[in-house]
Amino acid sequence: MSKVALVTGGSRGIGAAISKALQHAGHTVVATYAGNDDAAKAFTAETGIKTYKWSVADYDACAAGIRQIEDEVGPIAILVNNAGITRDAMFHKMTPQQWKEVIDTNLTGLFNMTHPVWSGMRDRKFGRIINISSINGQKGQAGQANYSAAKAGDLGFTKALAQEGARAGITVNAICPGYIATEMVKAIDEKVLADRIIPQIPVGRLGEPEEIARAVVFLASDDAGFITGSTISANGGQYFV
Ligand code: NDP
């Protein structure tokens, strides 16, 4: 059945693939983004999907933006917390600012976006929350103490909220992508990709954004009602939990 789905960071990269896949599955999709107006405009022109700009790190902006979307489009039944950033540095060089920006966006952003939709989902006895974490939240990654901490926190958040939402018909799950061929990963030097990164991936290639998107569509579906508190690792066999 068609539902209203909100995808944060839904106009670029993995988020754009998720938005398109949910639209293809018949849902009414809206996407948020932080500042890249050109990408958002091009995305809306291509897909017809409405985009809204605010930072997931700002609670008041999230609450106001969600109110606006629910007034304009309808109650949000599916929330995909996908927006994320990196501010990499080895820990001895990491600044408090790099720590804070990543925690505020990648971890607190989940609170900020989920809290304003939670009561409505409880009242309507239905909700699907899908959090895009990372393989680096599962295994840790040198140079990413901030990102690994935030993404590991996303998994704890997912499991706690799954328990709270279960009786109210709300499922809360996480997906941990490995290396996915987005602009960010494609920007890595080809030789580094070929010699150092791809050999770590047993399937022998990067993942495609659509491969994450298809997992989201499944978790968002009525068929996935018995799956909650789960983490899907989509990493080509690079890491098993
Ligand atoms: P991109 O950098 O391609 O896109 C990130 C999206 O998030 C953009 O739409 C961006 O908006 C938005 N965004 C960033 N900060 C904020 C903010 N404060 N408020 C609202 N929106 C924001 O990222 P990817 O597609 O590569 O990654 C998507 C998710 O998947 C992230 O959570 C990432 O951590 C995770 N992931 C990615 C992997 C990969 O290999 N690519 C691997 C594992 C996890 P704008 O367009 O305005 O900049």
Residue 191's pLDDT is 93
The pLDDT of residue 241 is above 90 = no
pLDDT value, residue 166: 98
pLDDT exceeding 90 applies to what percent of the chain?
96
Q: How far apart are CA 76 and CA 6, in angstroms?
A: 7
Mutation probe of ligand 1 site: the residue of 36, 41, 180 with most atoms within 8 A of C-beta: 180
What whole-number distance in Å separates Cα of residue 6 and Cα of residue 70? 10
Question: Domains in the chain, start-ordered, CATH in brackets?
Answer: 4-181+210-232 (3.40.50.720)
Best substitution site from 6, 7, 12, 176 to test ligand 1's pocket, by max atoms within 8 Å of Cβ? 12
Tens digit of each residue's pLDDT (9 = 90 or more) over 203-227: 999 999 999 999 999 999 999 999 9
* Region 134-139 average pLDDT: 98
Which atom of ligand 1 is nearest to 104's Cα? 18
Contact 148, 142 (CB under 8 A): no
Tens-place pLDDT, residues 138-157: 999 999 999 999 999 999 99
In the predicted structure, residue 82 carries a pLDDT above the cut 80: yes
Q: Is 238 in the pocket of ligand 1 (CB under 6 A)?
A: no
**Residue 11 alpha carbon to ligand 1 centre in Å:** 9
CA–CA distance, 123 with 126 (Å, rounded to integer) = 8
Nearest residue by C-alpha to atom 33 in ligand 1: 84
Q: Exactly one of 33, 52, 59, 147 is catalytic; which is it?
A: 147
Note the Cα 66 to chain centre separation in Å.
Answer: 16
32 lines ligand 1 (CB under 6 A): yes
- Give whole-number Cα distances, 56 to 18, 99, 113, 116, 217, in Å: 18, 16, 7, 12, 22
- Looking at the predicted complex, does its ipTM rise above 0.95? yes
11 CB under 6 A from ligand 1?
yes
pLDDT of amino acid 1: 76
Q: What angle do CA 112, 38, 184 make, to 5 degrees?
A: 70
Q: Is the pLDDT of residue 48 over 80?
A: yes
Instruction: Identify the pLDDT of residue 183.
Output: 84
pLDDT at residue number 44:
98
Residue in 32, 56, 79, 82 to alter for ligand 1 test, most ligand atoms within 8 A of Cβ? 82
DSSP code for 39: H
Q: Which residues lie below 8 Å from residue 175, measured CB to CB, with a gap of 6+?
A: 130, 131, 132, 133, 212, 215, 216, 219, 231, 232, 234
Q: What is the mean pLDDT of the chain?
A: 97
CA–CA dist 60, 69 (Å, integer): 14
Summarize pLDDT for 89-117 with one digit per residue, the tens.
999 999 999 999 999 999 999 999 999 99
- Its pTM surpasses 0.95: yes
The pLDDT of residue 17 is above 80: yes
**What local confidence, expressed as pLDDT, does residue 184 receive?**
76
Confidence at residue 72, expressed as pLDDT on a 0 to 100 scale: 98
How far CA 123 is from CA of 131, 167, 168, 234, in Å, comes to: 21, 11, 8, 32
Q: Which residues, in sequence order, are CB contacts of 39 under 8 Å at separation 6+?
A: 11, 12, 33
Tokens representing 66? 């969600």
pLDDT for 53: 98
- Whether 56 is in the pocket of ligand 1, judged by its Cβ within 6 Å, is yes
Whether 147 is a known active-site residue: answer yes
**Amino acid 135: pLDDT:** 98
pLDDT attached to residue 73:
98
Q: What is the pLDDT of residues 176-193, one digit of tens each?
A: 999 999 987 888 889 999
